[in-house]
Structures are given as C-alpha cells and as structure tokens.
Amino acid sequence: MVNIGSEPNSETPASPDSALPGRMPPPLFVAEAGGVRATELTRGPWAHQVMHGGAIGGLLGWAVEREQRRLGIAQVCSRLTVEILSGMPMATYAVTATTVKGGKRTALVDAEVRAMSGARGSEGAWGSVGSPRAADATADRETGRLVARATSQWLTPTEPSAELGGDGQSLPPIPAERADPGANPDIDYPRPGFNADAVDFRFVGGSTEEPGPGRTWLRLDHPFMAGEETSPLVRVATLADLGAAVGWDFSPSGGAYINTDVTLQLLRVPAGEWFYFDAATVVAPQGLAGTHTAICDRHGLLGWVLQSQVEAPAEIGFPGGMNAARAAG
C-alpha cells in the first residue's frame, strides 16, 4: 500500500507556485506532505463546504492510476467504481492505493481516501441518508476514518498499435456559448465551485437546472493537481459524476435523487479534453433510480457511466436549493 499524498511524483513534481494567480489556473487539489488538500474549486451544490462527487471520483482515479503506473505495463483502465461513504468537506486527506493483482493481462488496483486530524464530515451525504451541511457536521473523533474508496480494473490491449478512427457516430458540434450555471438566481452554487467554475459545459439539449435527459459537451477547465499535467483518465474520472447532473429527474414524490456511487466503464484511453455526455435517469419504485450516461470523445463512443440513485431526505432538499426546479415539479 502506498501513501499517494506524501509520495513525490518524479515525472511532474508539485509546485506551490502553480496555484498562484497569474502563474497557472488554480487546481482542484494540492499534494502536500502527508496528504492531499482540496481547494475551493472542489465545492459542490449540495453544501458550500462539501466537495462535489466529481472531485472525489477524480482524486480516486488519480490515485489508482499512479499506483498502476508502478507496474510498468501499458494497460487501459476498463472500469473505475467509486463509492463515497461520507460528505467530504474541503480539507486535507490521506490517499492510499494498493495493487490487488498485478498481472500482465489484467490488473486490479484499489484506492482509499481517509480523513485526517481536524477534518469535519457528514455521515451519509452520499452513502446513506443524512445532512451534508458542513455547518452541522461534527468533527471526526478518529483520524483515519474511511470516507471514499474505489476499485479499478486494468486490461492490456491485444492490438495496442491499432489506429483510432471515427466509429461512424454523428456527434453535434461543440456549441460556442459556455453555459453559466452560477448565473441562475434560483440555484445557490458556491463560487468558486465545481459546477460553475471548474467545468466548462456546452449544452446541446437540456441543462443542469432542468429535469429530464440531457446532452452536453464538457471539459475540465482547471488543472486537477497542482504542478501536474492532468491525464486523460483523471479528466474523464473527474467529469463522470456529472452524468447525474446532466440527466437528472424528479422522484415520484417530487423530490431529488442523490447518487451513492459512480461506475465508469471505458473501451480505450480517452482522447482530448472534450467529452460528450448523453445522460438520462430511469426512475424505479420504492424511491430508487439509476442514471445511465453514454460518453464519447472525438473518436466516437468512449464508454459509459452508471450511477445508483436514492431519494434524498427532505432535510437535504435539492442541490443549491434549486427553487425553480422545485416550483416546476
């Protein structure tokens, strides 16, 4: 098991200056001695001091990828499953990764994120029912509490030199106008924050503020880790959780759903910065639902995202308040 946060990256060393204005765009995370610190760009709409699930998924993707590279085998991450066990406020976290199987054809790598001394969290903001509001959260009494984890599978391509071309799918062009979720007066997005600032949305159909299926081009608009070039896997792992935001829907009672996990299935290494999401939520009885997102890049179909959904308790309400959505429902 390797403590990722304290391990130096010989390829792209972290630099404190990389987060300064005028030097580089601010990152989502900063690797420090003993841990990884979240910045304001990780904040999500459920509570202003709690991280967005996309940032957490990206952090776990970053950890498993660094660990897999230690094997020295050119493999593709075919699956990444992320489970968020607790609301995670902006803080410094211990991040570790472990090779479960290091085969030449297949590999399995797990990662964990644990609270460090002084971190405050909210049990169940994603993993079960409970308030995600940081103001109401109680301090972690025990350093090392598990707050998020991931499993991943890596496969060795049998034809690694095969050229990638289009798969025949006709995708809409990237719209020129960038969406501005933070400009909606009915939704209290944190600024700076993940939805409104860290991600560049270019919607083709729907939006994050209206229910129903949605289609959008999107890209991560900031470096993920200070001083490091963001890898293709980390880009798409960070964006994957947004399928539930692009294709969200109301529950039968008119409430909101909240996802408890994210499973990213990839056919190959992602290409480029822009990804096309086609997302929809299927509502089932008993307060459950599932969101399915097809992901494409410039070469065509890249993979899929699956997210389990449970109806959010009344005290959580809607992300960012979402008064317009509540009224429309």
Cβ–Cβ under 8 Å, residues 131 and 315: yes
Please give the pLDDT value at position 73: 93
176, part of any domain? no
Phi, psi values for residue 323, rounded to 5°: -65, -35
What burial letters (b/e) apply to 231-258, b meaning 16+ CB within 10 Å? Answer: bbbbbbbbbbbbbbbbbbbbbeeebbbb
Please enumerate in sequence order all residues whose Cβ is within 8 A of that of 154, keeping only pairs 6 or more positions apart, or say none: 68, 73, 75, 76, 77, 78, 106, 107, 108, 109
Q: How far apart are CA 120 and CA 99, in angstroms?
A: 29
CB atoms within 10 A of CB 13: 11
What separation in angstroms does the CA of 17 have from each of 10, 27, 260, 327? 17, 11, 35, 45
What is the tally of structural domains in the chain? 1
Please give the pLDDT value at position 141: 45
270, part of any domain? yes
165, part of any domain? no
Report, as ranges of residue numbers, the positions in the chain whose pLDDT lies below 70: 2, 4-24, 117-143, 166-168, 315-329
Range of the domain at 37: 2-156+181-328
What separation in angstroms does the CA of 191 have from each of 198, 232, 239, 296? 10, 26, 18, 29
149, part of any domain? yes
CA 316 remoteness from chain centre: 20
Q: What is the CATH number of the domain that holds 244?
A: 2.40.160.210
CB atoms within 10 A of CB 131: 18
169, part of any domain? no
CA 35 remoteness from chain centre: 19
167, part of any domain? no
Classify residue 271 as exposed, middle or buried by CB count within 10 Å of its CB (0-12, 13-18, 19+). middle
pTM comes to 0.85
CB atoms within 10 A of CB 266: 23
Q: How far apart are CA 324 and CA 329, in angstroms?
A: 9
68, part of any domain? yes
175, part of any domain? no
The token pair that represents 96 in the structure block: 């570790």
